[in-house]
Amino acid sequence: MADVKRVQRPLSPHLQIYRPQLTSITSILTRITGNGLIVGTLLAVWWLLAAATSAEYFAIADAVATSWFGDLVFTLSAWALWYHYLAGLRHLVFDAGKGLDIPTAEKLGWGCIIGSVVLTILTVIIV
């Protein structure tokens, strides 16, 4: 019988040979931003509940909400909201059977990323 030299190969793709595509990254970002919006919502709800509770408790919540941490959370929440919204519109296009070819899907992905950053900057400047 002939000697067969077997090469040790992984059973499935891994990060050494797999290169993430923009479409997979934007899909993951959609899930992350959807869950991340909970943090901003919790901070806003806490602030509102504190306002309804007492002046002392509101002072604590207001100090957190207006601190650098609150500004960061609300700015990231604005970005997450815009990104999640634009990704939802992109998926409506996909559900209609349009834009499913790779070049168009990548353009739509970049549109979501760049559009969400631009809309967040406009939101921060206006508000």
Segments making up each domain of the chain, as ranges: 22-126
Q: Which residues contact 65 (CB under 8 A, 6 or more apart)?
A: 43, 44, 46, 47, 74
pLDDT digits (tens, 9 = 90+) for 68-102: 999 999 999 999 999 999 999 999 999 999 999 99
- Determine the average pLDDT of the residues in 102-123: 96
pLDDT digits (tens, 9 = 90+) for 13-32: 666 677 788 999 999 999 99
pLDDT at 20: 82
pLDDT above 70 as % of the chain:
91
Collapsing DSSP to helix, strand or coil, 4 comes out as coil
Q: Is domain 22-126 annotated with CATH 1.10.8.80?
A: no
pLDDT at 5: 73
- Determine the average pLDDT of the residues in 23-47: 94
Single-letter amino acid, residue 86: L
User: Does the pTM exceed 0.85?
Assistant: no
pLDDT at 111: 97
Q: Can you say whether the dihedral through the CA atoms of 28, 30, 31, 37 is positive or negative?
A: positive
DSSP label of 17: T
Residue whose structure tokens are 């479409």: 23
Question: Where does the pLDDT of residue 1 fall: very low under 50, low under 70, confident under 90, or very high at 90 and above?
Answer: low
